[in-house]
Structure 1
């Protein structure tokens, strides 16, 4: 039996024990899996002679085909039980549905695709050992952290002022610890800069005291506009931009803000009649003068 076990990233970081109810086939406890009531009689199936299968012969044109199928009279059990001899609980089927609550432990550091095997807790059949139940871990997406191996990645939006002047910020981790870090004044953060905090990633499965790293991508949120006073103060602090050297022969153009998806979407339109309106159907140039090959 296989089941998908959906868990959060927090569960894979901290470990978790889940209680899951399953329904499975087990040997009937009343008849011990024989299918017969106390004092009842089990008879060998007369159709298959206890072999559980029958051989059907079919003729297809000049060919004769033999097909082995499950015996329809005993349903592949090899025996037949009269109605009055059947177990009152399993009705002669030898199996009953059983519901059990299992405790499934999610180990620290597990990842999507890892398997948790519960030996002997699966379906059971007469004269066959119980099967296993396999839970396949599937991680739900997290709102803050992305995982790759033992490393974690998060995106942190900061203002232009923070990027230029430094700041102190906090991170609430997956175990509810609050981490704090500081970018010193004068350490300019560029847009899409990537920083790393050692040892604050995911625990290593089997050795949870060892951890990966936490990576932070900084995304600068620029102001929509600036007042003249702000422009003046920024220019005073950073230096005014140098003006372009113009000769007077330049052609002035104007630009507008667009989305990147618009790049490559402009369709060229060629009006062939405009390009060739000076040519007539006979290949004559202007004034009706014909071209003659020499």
Structure 2
């Protein structure tokens, strides 16, 4: 009887489920089916024998991996860059959304939104070339300005001490405008009567933001923060792959670029799979812990 009710419910809402079907197919094909290949992390994979025909080696690749000094370096780089992106990149769209929400001139507001959204649609390949032309020590526009002001050229993309900060700020510049869309949508749902009551009570603009606006979008902030923490091991492969070089490997080589080199260029597929599986497990644990903490603090969480 219960199964019959379920099928009747599905049939009644069949058009909604048909709209959901492409997304389900996408995740099934590109996210769940590839999980089958993760077993090569426990095999000595031979491309001629295939996944099932390759011999099992247990945790051999993981043991070898944890003994590598290079892996400890790329793991630390991934953590540091991800933390920088979280600390400096996550608040940026929130701040911008709050500022845009206070603008009364709609034409100016829409113009600013359009301008800050545009970098999101430009690939890192193009932006990488742009950053090289802007920040290069050999004729870069920024360094020419620094020299004109009496300073010395700064190796934004060639100096270990500046490369990470260049990565983070260029990422913020590219993505913060696009990420404000979610917060602007959340702000649109705040009841205007709350602001009217606050004005009647004598609350200034800062008080209205702190006591009304931010609490009303807190659940959205928490959800996005949980998702960001759950992808802490994703430090931005495309950006780093475009901008880094051997001179800054010590501070920029992350797990994703390491997997690319050992997996595709060196053909060590089992070791690359072990690294990728290790990264996914860390992300999963971080998401579970962060979600648990959010629920303990009274938020709904992601599940």
Higher fraction of strand: 1
Using CA pairs below 8 Å that are at least 6 residues apart, which structure has the higher relative contact order?
2
Higher fraction of helix: 2
Structure of higher CA gyration radius: 1
